Amino acid sequence: MWSILGADALYLDIPHVLKSRLAELSGEGDAGERFRGFLGSSEVMFLLNGETEECSFFITVPDELGPEDIQLMADAILDIARSSELPFVAAGGAEQRFKVIINNQREPELVGLNKTPGMSSAEVFKPIFRALDSPGRMNSRFDL
């Protein structure tokens, strides 16, 4: 059984439990309200590196958030991690090494039902192909 900031979680529930625990522990006031709003609109993903036994929490924020908002989120999470007497993440009663990564970059989906328009492999290379075979382009191997 996993424990995230003192709350029990199954492996698949870790991102949801992390969001709820961070929201509970974020405190009151304007900064806490803003943090909860930003966190609610963010996507959390959990990965476990089996080789290093390190837990990674990826928090992908919406594109609308600016650098100051992202810094507010990072400061709030750091305050929670430092002030909590409970381990941030534990498995089987043993505290685990972890890292929290906050970003706002989304990878385009290249295949599947939610494929990002214009991001198939052929679409990415079409401008390059057009530039190489466009009319008026001098052939570099042609000698006059």
Return mean pLDDT, the chain: 84
C-alpha span between 121 and 59 (Å, rounded): 27
pLDDT tens for 83-114 read 888 899 999 888 999 999 998 876 666 666 77
Q: How confident is the model at residue 132 (pLDDT cuts 50, 70, 90)?
A: confident
pLDDT at 13: 92
Examine the pLDDT at 123 and tell me if it is beyond 70. no
Q: How confident is the model at residue 144 (pLDDT cuts 50, 70, 90)?
A: low
Amino acid at 90: A
pTM (predicted TM-score): 0.69
Domains and their CATH numbers in the chain: 2-107 (3.30.300)
In this predicted structure, which of 35-39, 63-67, 101-105, 107-111 has the lowest mean pLDDT?
107-111
pLDDT tens for 6-31 read 899 999 999 999 999 999 998 888 88
